[in-house]
Amino acid sequence: MKHEEIKTLIAAYIEGELDKKESLLVEAHLRECAGCRKECEELNQLEEVLNKMELRKPSKDTWDVYWSSVYNKLERRIGWIFLSLGVIILAFWGGYQAVEQLMTDPDKPLALKIGILALLGGGIIVFVSILREQLFFRKKERYKEIRR
């Protein structure tokens, strides 16, 4: 093994993560190489300090309510999906009724009917365009990679 390759094993050697054969290799190298010996000593000092370091723990209550928070969020999201679906269906139904009434009413002026049709046509084009963009974006979406 080359000098540079052995150097990268020093941290793992200090932490006892090497197998017997690798440890012997590093030990033999350390006996011969003063530079690596110094580096080993420095990393050893750093290791001592790193092992004593920890982040402050959140309060115990945090963990007690953690799962219920996840569950509540999950439940609320499902609720929002149904709520949104209901609003969309009702809006479409109401819109359809209103447009149908307007279109079949002979008293309403033709310009109004054409205007409404143009409005609907434009809305549909914009909706399809956004939908297509979203679907295209989704193909490149980062989270797609979670499929394994």
Partner 1 sequence: MDEQVMSEKECIELVKSGDSEAYSMIVKKYMKRAYYIAYSFVKSEADALDVSQDAFIRAFRHIKKFKPDCDFFPWFYRILKNLSLDWLRKNKKRDEIPLEDVNIAASPQLNEMLKIELWKGIEKLPLEQREILTLRYFQGLSYREIAAVLEKPLGSVMSSLYYSKKNLRAKMGDFFNEARRN
Which spans of this chain sit near partner 1 (rule: CB under 8 A)? 7-12, 15, 17, 39, 42-43, 45-47, 49-56, 58, 62-63, 66-67, 69-71, 73-74, 77, 142-143, 145-148
Shorter beta-carbon distance to partner 1: residue 52 or 111: 52
* Angle, alpha carbons 66-70-72 (nearest 5°): 115
Minimum distance from CB of 85 to partner 1 (Å)?
Answer: 16
Shorter beta-carbon distance to partner 1: residue 45 or 104: 45
Is residue 5 a contact partner of residue 36, using CB atoms and an 8 Å limit? no
- Helix (H) or strand (E) segment spanning residue 62: helix 60-64
Q: How far apart are CA 144 and CA 148, in angstroms?
A: 9
Minimum distance from CB of 86 to partner 1 (Å)?
Answer: 21
Shorter beta-carbon distance to partner 1: residue 15 or 105: 15
Shorter beta-carbon distance to partner 1: residue 82 or 143: 143
Q: How far apart are CA 141 and CA 49, in angstroms?
A: 41
Amino acid letter for position 147? R
Minimum distance from CB of 43 to partner 1 (Å)?
Answer: 6
Amino acid letter for position 131? L
Minimum distance from CB of 77 to partner 1 (Å)?
Answer: 7
Structure tokens at 56: 């402050």
